[in-house]
Amino acid sequence: MTDNVEAFSDGQGLIAGLLSSGESVEIPDHWLSYYQSRAQRNRGGRKTESPSSLIKYVSCPLSWFADRHAPENQGGVFVPNTFGVLGTAVHRIIELFYKERPANRDDSTLYEIRDDVWDALTTGSIKGGIIDANTLKDFQYAIDHPFGNFTKQGGRAFIEKRVRECVDNLLAFDDRPHRTKVKAQEKWSRAEINGISFNGRVDLIVESPKGGNSVIDYKTGKSHLDEDEVPSFDHLEFFKSGMYSVTEPDVDYIEQWYLMEELNVRLRATDERKGFVNAVIDDVTSQMNRIENSGKLRINPASSKDCGQCAYCPIKDVCPAWNDEMSLMDIAEAMKDKEE
């Protein structure tokens, strides 16, 4: 296994490999000054990231920078899509379900909540706070700007079908929800490492029937585990949950509930694994800080334009990794053109 500090320090494993591959390029001056002033522009005066943005950095620092730190990215390129709003809807339904008193947590309550959330999304009636205004706005945007080959109607039908399937399968993961001891849900988890604050939301923390606490992450897409692959924290799919095992106290397990597939991937959060997570965060935050001084970051393309981190990257048509004649200024221009 490579999810331990020794292997990571020796450069072994997926994440160690990703963090040292790709070519360094200089970023435009205005990107650099914008990045250097990010703490001053934040209300709390902090440099902030999230577990998701850390994973994005590991995949490709250029894509991370364009999404989070390029001044031109004002909402035209990295935008809510069909899959994102599907995930948000399912998360909200499950959140409301576990907010119910234990005795009320049964399938009829679950389906009632599902229908209420869907009604709010599709009619725009959000009085009572069943969903918030941002969720509604993102949903409407995703419907009006369908992803890939979806039509507007097709995108909406897809989301509805997937929401139903995911919710239908929930009780296969927790067949006695009235007994589930919820410790926290949709909880903000915070940590500061090398001067960078990480803020992320944990879906659910429960007291595990096998002892200790489990951090649970709901997944509405398919798992990316290869057949026979042994899950570990040295996998981008599980690293985010791994982060919560170090930012939350007394976590003994992480679980990822792949609702569509009825697959529960459960990993013990051992001290060895937690040490690995801390080492990765230390390395990533150090790299992020170095960009401020060097003005350089890596471009880390996948093996082809249509796979891995590049497959759905919204800037791949102007990314220098795939277009010899393009530069980072072309990315800035392309994002500016799409500003709304």
Using CB under 6 A, pick the residue from 15, 58, 60, 265 that binds ligand SF4: 60
Which residue, 259 or 313, is less far from ligand SF4 as judged by CB? 313
Q: Find the radius of gyration of the CA atoms of the chain.
A: 21
Spell out the alpha helix ranges (H) of the chain: 5-9, 14-18, 29-36, 38-41, 51-59, 61-68, 82-99, 107-123, 133-144, 152-173, 236-247, 271-294, 328-338
Binding to ligand SF4 by residue 321, rule CB under 6 A?
Answer: yes
Tell me the C-alpha distance between 54 and 340, whole Å.
Answer: 26
**Least distance to ligand SF4 from the beta carbon of 241, Å?**
23
Instruction: Give whichever of 200 and 301 is closer to ligand SF4, judged by the CB atom.
Output: 301
Q: Is 243 in the site for ligand SF4 (CB under 6 A)?
A: no
Q: Give whichever of 25 and 191 is closer to ligand SF4, judged by the CB atom.
A: 25
Pick the closer one to ligand SF4 by CB: 67 or 248. Answer: 67
Give the nearest distance from C-beta 314 to ligand SF4 in angstroms: 8
Q: Which stretch binds ligand SF4 (CB under 6 A): 107-115, 233-241, 271-279, 313-321?
A: 313-321
Cβ contacts of 65-71, under 8 Å, gap ≥ 24: 65/27, 65/31, 65/35, 65/291, 65/297, 66/315, 66/331, 66/335, 69/31, 69/34, 69/35, 69/38, 70/31, 70/34, 70/331, 70/332, 70/335, 71/30, 71/31, 71/34
User: Is 55 an interacting residue with respect to ligand SF4 (CB under 6 A)?
Assistant: no
Size of the site for ligand SF4 (CB under 6 A): 13
Residue 310 interacts with ligand SF4 (CB under 6 A)?
Answer: yes
Nearest of 202, 188, 199, 198 to residue 285 by alpha carbon: 198
Min dist CB 66 to ligand SF4, Å, is: 7
Rounded Cα gap, residues 31 and 71, in angstroms: 7
CA angle 225–313–137, rounded 5-degree value? 100
Q: Is 62 in the site for ligand SF4 (CB under 6 A)?
A: yes
Q: Between 88 and 300, whose beta carbon lies closer to ligand SF4?
A: 300
Which range in 57-65, 164-172, 193-201, 217-225 contacts ligand SF4 by CB under 6 A?
57-65
In the complex with ligand SF4, which residue's Cβ is closer, 74 or 304?
Answer: 304
- Our finding on whether 301 is near ligand SF4 (CB under 6 A) is yes
Q: Which residues bind ligand SF4 (CB under 6 A)?
A: 60, 62-63, 299-301, 309-310, 313, 315-316, 319, 321
